[in-house]
Amino acid sequence: MTRETVGIDNRRASGARLSAAIRIMALGTVLCAAPTALYAQEFKIADKAVQVHGFGSQGFVVTEGNNWLTMDTTHGSGAMTDFGLNASSQLTKKFRLGMQVYARNLGALGEFQPSVDWAFGDYRFASWLGVRAGKVKTTLGLYTDTQDLDFLHAFALMPQSVYPLDLRDANISHLGGDVYGTAPLGRAGSISYTAYVGHRDDSVHSAYPYFLLARGTHDSTYLGYQWGGDVRWNAPIQGLVVGVSGLGERLHGEGIRLGLPNREKSRRPDTTAQYFSQYAVGNLKVDAEYKHFNRDHLIRNFNSEDVADVRAWYVSGSYRVMKRLELGTYYSHYTITSTFLGLVDTTLPSGHDYDKVVSGSIDINRYVNVKLEGHFMNGYGFGPYPNGFYPQVNPTGFAPTTKGLVVKTGFNF
């Protein structure tokens, strides 16, 4: 690389940083100046109230070490935008209907392609029995269904070992049906359950197809069936929840590799088991989750087999120290092994990603927030399945550690 091209790259990077900073400031200014425009809208159609809500966020990430989440973060990147809009109505005492559209751009992912995030009918026979059908957010652990709604969390990025932002599309929703309910247990609190079956169809703009490009495979489809359940005990101790979730998937992908058709499929169902607990009382929230993801796939036209095993857990705590200020911290632990890649030693940087995080979130008003977050990562966990670090944006190889700063602002109404 010549000095001239380095200069051009630096000017481009500087321009990108400036552009992202301007976007964040402009969004913040507009949102602070016009809070009244952010009130939820409610109107009536045929005497039925329809509520409209929306959200959006803009992030800026700068790292030292590796480029992260498909962005050019070592030069600073603001390619982190998402927004959604929903409308819903309680049509009868027991039946509600709603839909949310969503679009995002995260580095090379999403590319602002709008998608139906959820759209379903929900009939609740009683508090202990309800059914939902359509495209439904998946209940898996504490936050799978709300992982991208950062205004609900103290953190700009959820613990990436369990809720990887790049893989948002993978398990966030399913096209199918749920049965759910909450049953009282008297003095022992109550128990909530969800069981579901459905179908998953990943966008070509999602993380796995992008990840496969680095291995010479251009996937055009990656889809399959999902089934699972979740049981959580709402303990009689105020704010204590303990639960377990499970997910099974039988998936297959098709595409082109080295100019020839290429296929892969689950040899056995992919499985995810997630154990979690939460203690949330007053302004304090403490979470802990453990996730075990196992994936046994026949790859390269079913001629090879890869068993990938991911173990992930985190412990997080947050406290609202003032009405508008919430501070938080977490430790996120991720390891991956692969039989096909011969990746067995999780102490190697390629076999793990340990992330220590400190975060602060300020509510500018009821609808707008700004977050500042530091990440201190050890390892890059590069196996047969994505985990934040991609060779396409790290062409000279991976550094063993990464430090990152995330600034994010968002609104919701």
Partner 1 sequence: MNIIKRTHVLVAVAGLWLSFGAVSRAADVSADVKVIANPSVSASEISSEDLKAVFLAVKTSIAGSQVEPVLAKSGRAHDEFLKGYLGKSDATLITYFRGLVFTGKASMPKVCDSDAEIVAYVAKTKGAVGYIGAGVAAQGTKTLAIR
96 binds partner 1 per the rule CB under 8 A: yes
CB of 224 to partner 1, least distance (A): 23
The residues in 183-222 that bind partner 1, with binding defined as CB under 8 A, are 184, 190, 192
Contact with partner 1 (CB under 8 A) among 76, 98, 253, 381: 98
CB of 366 to partner 1, least distance (A): 8
Q: Is 83 helix (H, G, I), strand (E, B) or coil?
A: strand
278 binds partner 1 per the rule CB under 8 A: no
Strand partners, 242: 233, 277
Give me 6's structure tokens.
Answer: 């380095």
How far apart CA 92 and CA 142 sit, in angstroms, is 29
How far apart CA 253 and CA 222 sit, in angstroms, is 4
The residues in 330-389 that bind partner 1, with binding defined as CB under 8 A, are 363, 366
CB of 189 to partner 1, least distance (A): 8
Contact with partner 1 (CB under 8 A) among 239, 246, 248, 391: 239
| Piece of the chain touching partner 1 by CB under 8 A; list 29-37, 182-190, 209-217, 259-267 | 182-190
Closest C-alpha among 221, 252, 210 to residue 388: 210
Closest C-alpha among 274, 323, 272 to residue 295: 272
CB of 220 to partner 1, least distance (A): 30
| Piece of the chain touching partner 1 by CB under 8 A; list 98-106, 108-116, 257-265, 294-302 | 98-106
401 binds partner 1 per the rule CB under 8 A: no
How far apart CA 275 and CA 290 sit, in angstroms, is 5
DSSP conformation letters of 296-351: EEEETTTTEEEEEEEEEEEEEEEEEEETTEEEEEEEEEEEEEETTTTB--TTSGGG
Binding mask 30-69 for partner 1 (x = CB under 8 A): ----------x--------x-x-x-x--------------
Closest C-alpha among 200, 206, 196 to residue 139: 196
The residues in 123-152 that bind partner 1, with binding defined as CB under 8 A, are 124, 126-127, 136-137, 145-146, 149, 151-152
What does residue 28 show for φ and ψ, rounded to 5 degrees?
A: -60, -45
- Conformational region of residue 216, where left means phi above 0, alpha means psi within -120 to 50, and beta covers everything else: left
List contacts with partner 1 (CB under 8 A).
Answer: 40, 49, 51, 53, 55, 84, 86, 88-90, 93-94, 96, 98-100, 118, 120, 122, 124, 126-127, 136-137, 145-146, 149, 151-152, 182, 184, 190, 192, 236-239, 280-283, 285, 320, 323, 326, 363, 366, 412
